[in-house]
Protein backbone atom coordinates (compact mmCIF):
# COMPACT_ATOMS: atom_id res chain seq x y z
CA UNK A 1 0.00 0.00 0.00
CA UNK A 2 1.28 3.40 -0.94
CA UNK A 3 1.82 6.12 1.60
CA UNK A 4 0.03 8.48 -0.77
CA UNK A 5 -3.60 9.06 -0.08
CA UNK A 6 -4.84 8.67 -3.60
CA UNK A 7 -3.92 5.22 -4.84
CA UNK A 8 -6.43 3.04 -3.12
CA UNK A 9 -8.53 1.47 -5.91
CA UNK A 10 -7.38 -1.68 -7.70
CA UNK A 11 -7.82 -2.05 -11.45
CA UNK A 12 -10.85 -4.23 -10.81
CA UNK A 13 -12.38 -1.58 -8.55
CA UNK A 14 -11.76 1.28 -10.97
CA UNK A 15 -13.32 -0.71 -13.81
CA UNK A 16 -16.25 -1.71 -11.61
CA UNK A 17 -16.68 1.88 -10.42
CA UNK A 18 -16.85 3.11 -14.02
CA UNK A 19 -19.31 0.43 -15.13
CA UNK A 20 -21.48 0.90 -12.04
CA UNK A 21 -21.46 4.68 -12.46
CA UNK A 22 -22.42 4.44 -16.12
CA UNK A 23 -25.19 1.98 -15.32
CA UNK A 24 -26.51 4.05 -12.41
CA UNK A 25 -26.46 7.20 -14.54
CA UNK A 26 -28.52 5.42 -17.21
CA UNK A 27 -30.91 4.18 -14.50
CA UNK A 28 -31.23 7.74 -13.20
CA UNK A 29 -31.79 9.29 -16.62
CA UNK A 30 -34.47 6.73 -17.52
CA UNK A 31 -35.98 6.49 -14.01
CA UNK A 32 -36.28 10.22 -13.55
CA UNK A 33 -37.49 10.54 -17.12
CA UNK A 34 -40.36 8.28 -16.03
CA UNK A 35 -40.86 9.93 -12.68
CA UNK A 36 -40.71 13.55 -13.82
CA UNK A 37 -42.00 12.84 -17.32
CA UNK A 38 -43.56 16.29 -17.63
CA UNK A 39 -40.48 18.22 -16.51
CA UNK A 40 -38.09 15.95 -18.44
CA UNK A 41 -40.18 15.42 -21.56
CA UNK A 42 -37.13 15.91 -23.79
CA UNK A 43 -35.23 13.16 -21.99
CA UNK A 44 -38.10 10.71 -22.48
CA UNK A 45 -38.24 11.63 -26.18
CA UNK A 46 -34.46 11.22 -26.51
CA UNK A 47 -34.69 7.72 -25.05
CA UNK A 48 -37.35 6.62 -27.52
CA UNK A 49 -40.59 7.66 -25.86
CA UNK A 50 -42.57 5.66 -23.35
CA UNK A 51 -41.58 2.22 -24.62
CA UNK A 52 -37.95 3.23 -25.11
CA UNK A 53 -37.50 4.73 -21.68
CA UNK A 54 -38.96 1.70 -19.87
CA UNK A 55 -36.85 -0.62 -22.01
CA UNK A 56 -33.68 1.37 -21.24
CA UNK A 57 -34.52 1.36 -17.51
CA UNK A 58 -35.09 -2.39 -17.47
CA UNK A 59 -31.97 -3.24 -19.50
CA UNK A 60 -29.90 -1.04 -17.17
CA UNK A 61 -31.64 -2.72 -14.21
CA UNK A 62 -30.57 -6.14 -15.49
CA UNK A 63 -27.03 -4.84 -15.98
CA UNK A 64 -27.08 -3.64 -12.37
CA UNK A 65 -28.10 -7.10 -11.16
CA UNK A 66 -25.24 -8.60 -13.20
CA UNK A 67 -22.76 -6.09 -11.73
CA UNK A 68 -23.95 -6.77 -8.18
CA UNK A 69 -23.67 -10.55 -8.65
CA UNK A 70 -20.19 -10.13 -10.14
CA UNK A 71 -19.11 -7.89 -7.27
CA UNK A 72 -20.41 -10.23 -4.57
CA UNK A 73 -18.67 -13.20 -6.21
CA UNK A 74 -15.44 -11.22 -6.44
CA UNK A 75 -15.63 -10.19 -2.80
CA UNK A 76 -16.14 -13.82 -1.81
CA UNK A 77 -13.65 -15.54 -4.09
CA UNK A 78 -10.58 -13.28 -4.20
CA UNK A 79 -8.25 -12.51 -1.33
CA UNK A 80 -8.20 -8.82 -2.31
CA UNK A 81 -11.99 -8.84 -2.28
CA UNK A 82 -12.14 -10.41 1.16
CA UNK A 83 -9.48 -7.98 2.35
CA UNK A 84 -11.40 -5.00 0.99
CA UNK A 85 -14.55 -6.28 2.67
CA UNK A 86 -12.73 -6.48 6.00
CA UNK A 87 -11.45 -2.93 5.44
CA UNK A 88 -14.91 -1.45 5.08
CA UNK A 89 -16.28 -3.04 8.25
CA UNK A 90 -16.95 -0.43 10.89
CA UNK A 91 -14.74 -0.75 13.94
CA UNK A 92 -14.76 0.85 17.41
CA UNK A 93 -12.46 3.62 16.08
CA UNK A 94 -15.05 4.53 13.48
CA UNK A 95 -17.76 4.83 16.12
CA UNK A 96 -15.40 6.92 18.23
CA UNK A 97 -14.60 9.08 15.17
CA UNK A 98 -18.29 9.69 14.50
CA UNK A 99 -18.90 10.69 18.13
CA UNK A 100 -15.83 12.92 18.17
CA UNK A 101 -16.95 14.53 14.90
CA UNK A 102 -20.28 15.45 16.45
CA UNK A 103 -18.44 16.89 19.43
CA UNK A 104 -16.06 18.76 17.10
CA UNK A 105 -18.97 20.34 15.22
CA UNK A 106 -20.53 21.35 18.53
CA UNK A 107 -17.23 22.88 19.70
CA UNK A 108 -16.74 20.25 22.40
CA UNK A 109 -13.61 18.68 20.86
CA UNK A 110 -10.37 20.33 19.74
CA UNK A 111 -9.77 18.25 16.65
CA UNK A 112 -11.26 15.59 14.46
CA UNK A 113 -10.55 11.92 15.11
CA UNK A 114 -7.88 10.35 12.81
CA UNK A 115 -10.57 8.05 11.39
CA UNK A 116 -12.42 11.09 10.10
CA UNK A 117 -9.53 12.78 8.30
CA UNK A 118 -10.05 11.43 4.83
CA UNK A 119 -9.08 14.44 2.78
CA UNK A 120 -6.67 16.20 5.08
CA UNK A 121 -3.47 15.07 3.35
CA UNK A 122 -2.21 12.77 6.07
CA UNK A 123 -0.03 9.75 5.36
CA UNK A 124 -1.61 6.35 5.59
CA UNK A 125 0.49 5.69 8.67
CA UNK A 126 -1.39 8.48 10.42
CA UNK A 127 -4.94 7.90 9.28
CA UNK A 128 -6.78 4.95 7.72
CA UNK A 129 -7.34 5.24 3.99
CA UNK A 130 -11.07 4.91 4.46
CA UNK A 131 -12.77 7.17 6.99
CA UNK A 132 -16.01 6.27 8.68
CA UNK A 133 -17.67 8.68 6.25
CA UNK A 134 -16.19 6.84 3.28
CA UNK A 135 -17.38 3.54 4.76
CA UNK A 136 -20.79 5.08 5.35
CA UNK A 137 -21.01 6.11 1.70
CA UNK A 138 -20.29 2.52 0.66
CA UNK A 139 -22.85 1.18 3.17
CA UNK A 140 -25.58 3.60 2.13
CA UNK A 141 -24.91 3.09 -1.57
CA UNK A 142 -24.91 -0.70 -1.23
CA UNK A 143 -28.10 -0.81 0.83
CA UNK A 144 -29.91 1.62 -1.49
CA UNK A 145 -28.85 -0.30 -4.59
CA UNK A 146 -29.92 -3.61 -3.06
CA UNK A 147 -33.34 -2.30 -2.01
CA UNK A 148 -33.88 -0.54 -5.35
CA UNK A 149 -32.93 -3.73 -7.18
CA UNK A 150 -35.28 -5.90 -5.15
CA UNK A 151 -38.22 -3.48 -5.39
CA UNK A 152 -37.49 -2.90 -9.08
CA UNK A 153 -37.53 -6.62 -9.83
CA UNK A 154 -40.77 -7.06 -7.88
CA UNK A 155 -42.38 -4.17 -9.77
CA UNK A 156 -41.16 -5.55 -13.08
CA UNK A 157 -42.17 -9.15 -12.66
CA UNK A 158 -45.41 -9.21 -10.79
CA UNK A 159 -46.20 -12.83 -11.43
CA UNK A 160 -44.82 -14.22 -8.20
CA UNK A 161 -46.06 -11.44 -5.96
CA UNK A 162 -49.32 -10.75 -7.75
CA UNK A 163 -51.36 -12.11 -4.88
CA UNK A 164 -49.84 -9.46 -2.60
CA UNK A 165 -49.57 -6.84 -5.30
CA UNK A 166 -53.13 -6.71 -6.62
CA UNK A 167 -54.36 -4.01 -4.30
CA UNK A 168 -54.05 -0.27 -4.46
CA UNK A 169 -52.19 -0.25 -1.14
CA UNK A 170 -49.63 -2.81 -2.27
CA UNK A 171 -49.12 -1.07 -5.60
CA UNK A 172 -48.67 2.26 -3.83
CA UNK A 173 -46.24 0.70 -1.37
CA UNK A 174 -43.99 -0.59 -4.17
CA UNK A 175 -44.25 2.65 -6.11
CA UNK A 176 -43.54 4.90 -3.14
CA UNK A 177 -40.73 2.71 -1.83
CA UNK A 178 -38.93 2.50 -5.18
CA UNK A 179 -39.57 6.16 -5.97
CA UNK A 180 -38.53 7.58 -2.62
CA UNK A 181 -35.40 5.46 -2.50
CA UNK A 182 -34.55 6.73 -5.97
CA UNK A 183 -35.01 10.32 -4.85
CA UNK A 184 -32.78 9.78 -1.82
CA UNK A 185 -30.14 8.09 -3.96
CA UNK A 186 -30.24 10.83 -6.57
CA UNK A 187 -29.52 13.39 -3.90
CA UNK A 188 -26.64 11.25 -2.61
CA UNK A 189 -25.12 10.83 -6.06
CA UNK A 190 -25.36 14.56 -6.80
CA UNK A 191 -23.53 15.25 -3.56
CA UNK A 192 -20.99 12.52 -4.37
CA UNK A 193 -20.27 14.19 -7.72
CA UNK A 194 -19.77 17.55 -6.04
CA UNK A 195 -17.71 16.16 -3.18
CA UNK A 196 -15.28 14.18 -5.32
CA UNK A 197 -15.13 16.41 -8.36
CA UNK A 198 -14.80 19.78 -6.70
CA UNK A 199 -12.57 19.17 -3.70
CA UNK A 200 -9.72 21.70 -3.98
CA UNK A 201 -7.09 18.96 -3.91
CA UNK A 202 -8.71 16.83 -6.61
CA UNK A 203 -10.59 19.24 -8.89
CA UNK A 204 -11.85 18.55 -11.52
CA UNK A 205 -11.85 14.83 -10.81
CA UNK A 206 -10.50 12.60 -8.06
CA UNK A 207 -8.29 10.24 -10.02
CA UNK A 208 -7.98 7.54 -7.35
CA UNK A 209 -11.30 6.17 -8.56
CA UNK A 210 -10.01 5.87 -12.11
CA UNK A 211 -6.28 5.12 -11.97
CA UNK A 212 -5.47 1.70 -10.47
CA UNK A 213 -3.16 1.84 -7.48
CA UNK A 214 -0.47 -0.20 -9.22
CA UNK A 215 -0.09 2.66 -11.69
CA UNK A 216 0.48 5.16 -8.89
CA UNK A 217 4.09 5.50 -7.69
CA UNK A 218 4.74 4.23 -4.20
CA UNK A 219 6.76 7.29 -3.27
CA UNK A 220 7.17 10.78 -4.58
CA UNK A 221 10.55 11.52 -6.13
CA UNK A 222 11.17 13.89 -3.28
CA UNK A 223 10.31 11.94 -0.12
CA UNK A 224 11.22 14.59 2.39
CA UNK A 225 7.68 15.82 2.84
CA UNK A 226 6.17 15.75 6.26
CA UNK A 227 2.86 14.72 4.74
CA UNK A 228 1.71 13.42 1.37
CA UNK A 229 2.81 16.61 -0.33
CA UNK A 230 -0.76 17.75 -0.76
CA UNK A 231 0.32 21.21 0.43
CA UNK A 232 2.53 21.57 -2.64
CA UNK A 233 -0.40 21.27 -5.02
CA UNK A 234 -1.48 24.46 -6.71
CA UNK A 235 -5.15 25.31 -6.92
CA UNK A 236 -6.56 25.41 -10.44
CA UNK A 237 -7.51 29.00 -11.37
CA UNK A 238 -11.03 27.93 -12.35
CA UNK A 239 -11.70 26.08 -9.09
CA UNK A 240 -13.32 29.03 -7.30
CA UNK A 241 -16.04 29.92 -9.77
CA UNK A 242 -16.48 26.34 -11.01
CA UNK A 243 -17.09 25.11 -7.47
CA UNK A 244 -19.47 27.94 -6.70
CA UNK A 245 -21.48 27.34 -9.86
CA UNK A 246 -21.49 23.58 -9.35
CA UNK A 247 -22.40 24.01 -5.68
CA UNK A 248 -25.38 26.16 -6.59
CA UNK A 249 -26.46 23.73 -9.32
CA UNK A 250 -26.14 20.78 -6.93
CA UNK A 251 -28.20 22.49 -4.23
CA UNK A 252 -30.86 23.57 -6.76
CA UNK A 253 -30.91 20.06 -8.23
CA UNK A 254 -31.24 18.32 -4.86
CA UNK A 255 -33.89 20.72 -3.55
CA UNK A 256 -35.87 20.58 -6.80
CA UNK A 257 -35.91 16.80 -6.95
CA UNK A 258 -36.95 16.65 -3.31
CA UNK A 259 -39.66 19.29 -3.71
CA UNK A 260 -40.68 17.82 -7.07
CA UNK A 261 -41.27 14.44 -5.51
CA UNK A 262 -43.66 16.09 -3.06
CA UNK A 263 -45.31 18.42 -5.59
CA UNK A 264 -45.55 15.92 -8.39
CA UNK A 265 -48.46 13.57 -8.05
CA UNK A 266 -48.41 9.87 -8.60
CA UNK A 267 -44.81 8.87 -8.17
CA UNK A 268 -43.98 8.62 -5.36
CA UNK A 269 -46.68 10.90 -3.94
CA UNK A 270 -50.34 9.97 -4.48
CA UNK A 271 -52.69 12.56 -5.94
CA UNK A 272 -54.50 12.94 -2.61
CA UNK A 273 -51.38 14.27 -0.94
CA UNK A 274 -50.17 16.53 -3.72
CA UNK A 275 -49.43 20.17 -3.06
CA UNK A 276 -48.32 22.82 -5.50
CA UNK A 277 -49.00 23.20 -9.19
CA UNK A 278 -49.52 26.42 -11.12
CA UNK A 279 -46.55 28.78 -11.56
CA UNK A 280 -44.42 26.67 -9.22
CA UNK A 281 -44.33 24.05 -11.98
CA UNK A 282 -42.08 26.31 -14.07
CA UNK A 283 -39.55 26.69 -11.26
CA UNK A 284 -39.65 22.95 -10.64
CA UNK A 285 -39.15 22.23 -14.32
CA UNK A 286 -36.04 24.41 -14.34
CA UNK A 287 -34.81 22.97 -11.03
CA UNK A 288 -35.30 19.33 -11.96
CA UNK A 289 -33.56 19.90 -15.28
CA UNK A 290 -30.69 21.50 -13.35
CA UNK A 291 -30.51 18.29 -11.30
CA UNK A 292 -30.25 16.27 -14.50
CA UNK A 293 -27.52 18.68 -15.69
CA UNK A 294 -25.56 17.92 -12.50
CA UNK A 295 -25.86 14.21 -13.31
CA UNK A 296 -24.68 14.85 -16.87
CA UNK A 297 -21.68 16.74 -15.52
CA UNK A 298 -21.03 13.81 -13.19
CA UNK A 299 -21.12 11.38 -16.09
CA UNK A 300 -18.83 13.63 -18.14
CA UNK A 301 -16.39 13.88 -15.21
CA UNK A 302 -16.24 10.14 -14.78
CA UNK A 303 -15.54 9.75 -18.49
CA UNK A 304 -12.85 12.42 -18.07
CA UNK A 305 -11.41 10.40 -15.19
CA UNK A 306 -11.06 7.43 -17.54
CA UNK A 307 -9.47 9.68 -20.16
CA UNK A 308 -6.92 10.78 -17.55
CA UNK A 309 -6.15 7.12 -16.84
CA UNK A 310 -5.53 6.46 -20.53
CA UNK A 311 -3.25 9.50 -20.76
CA UNK A 312 -1.42 8.48 -17.59
CA UNK A 313 -0.90 4.96 -18.91
CA UNK A 314 0.52 6.34 -22.15
CA UNK A 315 2.82 8.62 -20.19
CA UNK A 316 4.06 5.69 -18.11
CA UNK A 317 4.64 3.65 -21.27
CA UNK A 318 6.59 6.48 -22.84
CA UNK A 319 8.71 6.89 -19.72
CA UNK A 320 9.32 3.14 -19.56
CA UNK A 321 10.24 3.07 -23.24
CA UNK A 322 12.63 5.97 -22.77
CA UNK A 323 14.25 4.20 -19.82
CA UNK A 324 14.44 0.93 -21.73
CA UNK A 325 16.03 2.65 -24.69
CA UNK A 326 18.62 4.21 -22.43
CA UNK A 327 19.29 0.91 -20.63
CA UNK A 328 18.96 -1.17 -23.77
CA UNK A 329 16.64 -3.43 -21.83
CA UNK A 330 13.09 -4.73 -22.01
CA UNK A 331 9.95 -2.62 -21.62
CA UNK A 332 7.87 -4.05 -18.78
CA UNK A 333 4.14 -3.54 -18.82
CA UNK A 334 2.79 -2.59 -15.43
CA UNK A 335 0.74 -5.42 -13.94
CA UNK A 336 -2.01 -5.12 -11.42
CA UNK A 337 -4.22 -7.07 -9.05
Residue 167 binds another protein (CB under 8 A): yes
50, 238, 244, 325: which one binds another protein (CB under 8 A): 50
Of the listed pieces 5-13, 35-43, 71-79, 215-223, which binds another protein according to CB under 8 A?
A: 35-43
Of the listed pieces 29-37, 111-119, 204-212, 232-240, which binds another protein according to CB under 8 A?
A: 29-37
Of the listed pieces 69-77, 132-140, 156-164, 205-213, which binds another protein according to CB under 8 A?
A: 156-164
Residue 144 binds another protein (CB under 8 A): no
**Nearest distance from residue 162's CB to another protein, in Å?**
8
In the bound state with another protein, the residue whose beta carbon lies nearer, of 159 and 223, is 159
Per-residue b or e along 107-146, where b marks 16 or more CB atoms closer than 10 Å to that residue's CB: eeeeebbbbbbbbbbbeeeebbbbbbbbbebeeebeebbe
Residue 153 binds another protein (CB under 8 A): no
Residue 160 binds another protein (CB under 8 A): no
How many residues are given for the chain?
337
Residue 218 binds another protein (CB under 8 A): no
Residue 266 binds another protein (CB under 8 A): yes
127, 175, 252, 301: which one binds another protein (CB under 8 A): 175
**Nearest distance from residue 259's CB to another protein, in Å?**
17
**Torsion angle (degrees, nearest 10) of CA 20, 213, 71, 185:** -40
Residue 271 binds another protein (CB under 8 A): yes
In the bound state with another protein, the residue whose beta carbon lies nearer, of 38 and 336, is 38
Residue 83 binds another protein (CB under 8 A): no
129, 172, 283, 316: which one binds another protein (CB under 8 A): 172
Residues in the site for another protein, rule: CB under 8 A?
Answer: 34-35, 37-38, 50-55, 58-59, 155-158, 162, 165-168, 170-172, 174-175, 179, 265-267, 270-272
Amino acid sequence: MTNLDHGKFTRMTTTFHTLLALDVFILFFSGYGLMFNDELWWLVTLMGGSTGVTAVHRIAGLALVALIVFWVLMMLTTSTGRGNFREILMGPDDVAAAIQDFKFVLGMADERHPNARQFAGYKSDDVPLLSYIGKGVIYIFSIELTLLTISGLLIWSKTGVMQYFATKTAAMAFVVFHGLLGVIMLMGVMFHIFEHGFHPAFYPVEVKAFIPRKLIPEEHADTDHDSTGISQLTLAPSWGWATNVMGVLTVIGIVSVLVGSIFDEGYPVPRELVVGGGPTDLLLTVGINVGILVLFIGMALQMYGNLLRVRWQKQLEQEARATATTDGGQVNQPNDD
